[in-house]
Every structure is written in structure tokens, then in C-alpha cells.
């Protein structure tokens, strides 16, 4: 029996911690971005790229995207295991979302790399 | 099933007057099974409790944001690809439909975040009683609606 198939962590408690830790990281990122848009009257190409050219902002953004990857992966697993009872269909949807999340993470990495 | 349950009761009673009780139980059980139970299928009179609404809103908003990641990562990549890309995203965001979609995504974010904070506070052992749980669930939904309106005001 492989009960943990499809989850992100190796166990329920591990998923529990990962879900909350990633939530806190993303919460901080959202608060920061709200602050940025609130304090920047006119968002131009110059100050937009200026923001993401900082090393700390690249790290912060990739950290938040890692949060999205982990949180999204575990979150969709929780939703799917509750509502999609056919294991084949569930595995397929989980596959699509998991691959999509990795694509989002990698896209973020390469975009940040080039700014 | 009836036989098994009755048998358990025989074992529990295990006395002479028990025989009478067993037969009474048996009749009672049959009448319970046949009795018309109250059924309420009038959906307009059934309501989710506030905590259930908060829970389902948290899930729905989470899935909405997950799907919207495709658009968000495109906008992120394009806006940072060069001045033309930035201008393209900027011009798209002036249209009503794009603003409406953006408002929907930010509303989902607001609901997910605020109800999520309630979940984190509940993890620490607060708001676990019926009254406080109900009040905090209602409050989180009300605050989310206010945030959603504020986001709309900011966008338009």
C-alpha cells in the first residue's frame, strides 16, 4: 500500500507543516506586493523591472513561487481526494496540476534570471 | 441485522424479565424501520453553517487561483520581457473583461487569505467553540467581501 502517493510531503504531518509554512511565506509576499502597488502611484516598466532586478526580490519571488508549488500541490490533493472518487481520474487531474505547478515554478525561475 | 442487535440485547439483559423486554424490542425495532422518517428536501430552508461556508469558499477560491496561475505567470513573464511586453500587459489590463478577471482573481485571493488566516489561528487552539467558531467564520467572510469591494474600487 502506498498511501502517500500524490501528496507532496512524506506523511500527513509533513504535509500539514508544509501547507502552513508555505502559506506564511506567500502571505508575506502578498503583503509586500500590496505595499508596492499602494506606494507606487504609477507602475512603469522602469520601476517594475527595477524591483525584480534586486537579488533579494528574485529570492523572495522564487521563495513565494516555491510556496505556490507546495501549497497548490497539497491543496489540490486535499480537494481531489475528497471529491474525485475514481482513482484513475484523480491521478490524471493531480498529474495535470502538479506538472502545471512545476512549469509555473520553472517559468518564474527563468524570467527572474533574465531581469 | 435485527436478529444480531436483539441478540446483543439478550446478552445484556440476561434475566427472566428480559424475555418480555426482548420481544418488546423486536416489535419496536420493526416499527422504527417501517416508520416514515421526517424528510426535508426543501433546499431553500436548508443552510450551510457559517464555518462550512468559510470552508467551501476557501477551497473554491484556492482552485480558482490555481487555474488562474496560467494567466498570472503569462502576465508576469510578458511584463518583464521588455517594454513592448509591459505595454501589452498594461493595455490588456485597461479592458473591462481583463479588469473583471483580475478582480475575480484578487477576490479569490482575499477570501482564501483571510479565511486561511482564520484557519491558522484555529490551529493554535482558538475559536474552536460553537459560538466563537461561528462568529469568526462570519467575520472572515464579511471582511473578505469588504476587501473584494475595495479591490474593485482600486481597479476601476
Q: Is residue A1 part of a domain?
A: no
pLDDT digits (tens, 9 = 90+) for B13-47: 444 444 444 544 455 555 555 667 777 777 788 88
Q: Is residue A31 part of a domain?
A: yes
Average pLDDT over all residues of chain A: 93
b (16+ CB within 10 A) / e for A43-73:
eebeebbebbeeeebbebbeebbbbbbbbbb
The angle that helices B18-34 and B2-13 make with each other, rounded to 10 degrees, is 150
Going by C-alpha positions, the residue among B97, B114, B108 that lies closest to residue B69 is B108
Q: Is residue A59 part of a domain?
A: yes
Which DSSP category does B149 fall into?
Answer: H
Domain edges within chain B: 2-34, 48-155
Q: Is residue A65 part of a domain?
A: yes
Indicate the Cα dihedral angle A36, B152, A19, A52, nearest 10°.
Answer: -30
CATH 1.20.1300.10 fits B48-155, yes or no: yes
pLDDT surpasses 50 at B8:
no
For residue B79, what is the nearest residue in chain A, using CA coordinates?
A45
Q: What is the pLDDT of residue A74?
A: 95
Using a CB-CB distance cutoff of 8 angstroms, which residues of chain B are in contact with residue A115?
A: 80
Mean pLDDT (whole number) for B73-83: 96
Cα–Cα distance, B56 to B58 (Å, whole number): 5
B52–A contact, CB cutoff 8 A: no
Going by C-alpha positions, the residue among B98, B111, B110 that lies closest to residue B72 is B98
CA angle B37, B42, B44 (to 5 degrees): 145
Contact A107 B73 (CB under 8 A): yes
pLDDT surpasses 80 at A61:
yes
Residue-range definition of the domain harbouring residue A47: 12-114
A83 is in an annotated binding site: yes
- Give the residue from A104, A110, A114 with the most B CB atoms within 10 Å of its CB, the best one to mutate: A104
A20–B contact, CB cutoff 8 A: yes
A68–B contact, CB cutoff 8 A: yes
Indicate the Cα dihedral angle A106, A107, A111, A112, nearest 10°.
Answer: -40
A108–B contact, CB cutoff 8 A: yes
B142–A contact, CB cutoff 8 A: no
For A15-34, what is the HEC assignment? HHHHHHHHHHHHHHHHHHHH
Total domains in the fold of chain A? 1
A7-21, A41-55, B20-34: segment of lowest average pLDDT: B20-34
pLDDT digits (tens, 9 = 90+) for B142-154: 999 999 999 999 9
Amino acid at each position: 500500500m502506498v498511501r502517500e502517493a500524490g501528496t507532496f510531503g512524506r506523511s500527513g504531518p509533513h504535509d500539514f507543516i508544509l501547507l502552513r509554512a508555505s502559506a506564511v511565506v506567500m502571505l508575506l509576499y502578498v503583503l509586500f506586493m500590496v505595499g508596492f502597488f499602494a506606494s507606487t502611484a504609477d507602475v512603469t516598466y522602469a520601476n517594475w523591472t527595477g524591483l525584480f532586478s534586486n537579488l533579494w526580490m528574485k529570492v523572495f519571488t522564487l521563495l513565494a513561487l516555491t510556496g505556490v508549488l507546495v501549497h497548490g500541490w497539497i491543496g489540490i490533493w486535499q480537494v481531489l481526494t475528497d471529491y474525485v472518487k475514481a482513482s484513475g481520474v484523480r491521478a490524471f487531474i493531480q498529474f495535470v496540476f502538479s506538472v502545471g505547478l512545476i512549469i509555473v515554478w520553472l517559468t518564474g525561475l527563468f524570467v527572474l534570471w533574465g531581469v | 441485522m435485527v436478529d444480531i442487535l436483539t441478540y446483543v440485547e439478550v446478552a445484556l439483559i440476561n434475566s427472566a424479565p428480559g424475555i418480555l423486554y426482548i420481544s418488546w424490542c423486536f416489535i419496536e425495532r420493526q416499527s422504527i424501520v417501517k416508520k416514515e422518517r421526517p424528510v426535508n428536501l426543501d433546499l431553500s430552508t436548508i443552510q450551510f453553517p457559517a464555518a462550512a461556508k468559510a470552508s467551501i469558499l476557501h477551497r473554491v477560491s484556492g482552485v480558482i487561483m490555481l487555474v488562474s496561475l496560467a494567466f498570472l505567470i503569462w502576465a508576469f513573464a510578458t511584463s518583464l520581457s521588455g517594454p513592448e511586453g509591459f505595454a501589452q500587459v498594461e493595455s490588456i489590463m485597461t479592458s473591462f473583461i481583463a479588469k473583471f478577471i483580475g478582480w475575480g482573481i484578487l477576490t479569490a485571493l482575499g477570501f482564501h487569505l483571510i479565511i486561511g488566516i482564520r484557519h491558522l489561528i484555529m490551529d493554535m487552539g482558538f475559536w474552536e467553540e460553537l459560538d466563537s467558531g461561528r462568529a469568526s467564520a462570519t467575520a472572515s467572510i464579511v471582511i473578505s467581501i469588504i476587501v473584494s469591494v475595495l479591490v474593485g474600487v482600486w481597479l476601476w
